[in-house]
Amino acid sequence: MNKYRHEYKYLIDSKEMAVLNIKAAGILQRDSHAGREGSYFIQSLYFDDMKNSCYRENEAGTDPRSKFRIRYYNRNTESLKLEKKSKIRGMTRKESCSITREECELFMGGGVPEISPEFPREKQMLFGEMKVRGLMPKVIVAYDRIPFVAPAGNVRVTLDSNLVSSGEVENFLLEKRMQRPVLPGGNSVLEVKFDEFLPSYIKEVLALDSLAWTSFSKYYLCRKYNTNGGVL
């Protein structure tokens, strides 16, 4: 089972994004999954219940809390991951397993497969909560990510830009759908994740103490800021 890690998020503007990209490239390694371009495209389908509990808990800072999502990278719909992300006392943990395209399409239509003891733990948890709590797909979150890593502290630094949201959950696996930008003025999100410690040189070079820290997740932001001004 994956361990809990520290995770900090910062809202940054376009100038800070450019500077941080250069600084990070100077002291960190590029994530090997990013390919030649040094980035990849992420699309996630998030679940919530009729009361929007996951959204409300993030807004209230409820501790502990968790949420489910299905994710794929670079438009590769043949490699789908079901993930449960949990947060407790400022620490986060991600548990994941693979799902089939058929299972994903069933979720998108609001269907719930029968639970099997042979399923991975993450599948059993999501299927159970869909039946008990009425979890259902709520919003698509998509963005570009530039990832960096460092072995000391198992550090991961990511720069996420071009954040968009869509309520067309039935089109999660399609390239074209109605969507809208979420962050104003070309703003982006810096995320810093690590295990027991963050090496001081990373904190100092990236000047983390001078940045605008936020507790809100991209899921929360994508549901809060939509064309109607309410919860998407």
What pLDDT is attached to residue 227? 41
208 burial type by CB count under 10 A (0-12 exposed, 13-18 middle, 19+ buried):
middle
**Residue 119 token pair:** 């399923």
Domain count, the chain: 1
Residue 232 lies in a domain: no
Contacts of 48 (CB under 8 A, 6+ apart): 54, 55, 67, 135, 136, 138
Question: In degrees rounded to 5, what are phi and psi of residue 187?
Answer: -70, 155
Write out the two tokens for 159. 């720069």
First to last CA, the chain: 33
Q: What percent of the chain has pLDDT over 90?
A: 72
Within-domain flag for 123: yes
Contact predicate 3/208, CB 8 Å: no
Written as six digits, the tokens of 25 are: 């490239």
Residue 226 is predicted with a pLDDT of: 57
Say if 104 falls within a structural domain.
yes
Query: What is the pLDDT averaged over residues 136-163?
Result: 96
Confidence tier at 124 by pLDDT (50, 70, 90): confident
Q: Is 106 helix (H, G, I), strand (E, B) or coil?
A: helix
Q: Among the listed ranges 66-70, 79-83, 126-130, 227-231, which one has the minimum average pLDDT value?
A: 227-231
Q: What is the pLDDT of residues 217-232, one digit of tens each?
A: 999 999 887 544 455 4
Beta-strand (E) ranges in the chain? 5-12, 29-30, 40-48, 65-73, 80-88, 91-99, 136-150, 155-166, 180-181, 188-194, 212-214
Does residue 77 have a pLDDT over 80?
yes
What's the confidence (pLDDT) of residue 128?
84
**16 domain residue, yes or no:** yes
C-alpha–C-alpha distance, residues 130 and 18, integer Å: 41
Q: How many residues does the chain have?
A: 232
Amino acid at position 172, single letter: F
**Spatial separation of the C-alpha atoms in residues 108 and 66, rounded to whole Å:** 20
DSSP at 216: -
Q: What average pLDDT does the segment 13-29 reach?
A: 97
Q: What is the mean pLDDT of residues 108-130?
A: 83
CATH at residue 214: 3.20.100.30
Residue 220 maps to a domain: yes
Mean pLDDT computed over every residue of the chain: 91
Domain, as residue range, for 181 = 5-224
Confidence bin at 129 (pLDDT 50/70/90):
confident
User: Does the residue 121 lie in any domain?
Assistant: yes
Q: From CA 194, how far away is CA 157, in angstroms rounded?
A: 9
State residue 109's pLDDT score: 84
Residue 195 within any structural domain of the chain: yes
pLDDT digit string (tens) for 43-71? 999 999 999 999 999 999 898 999 999 99
Contact 131, 211 (CB under 8 A): no
Average pLDDT of the residues in 82-107: 92
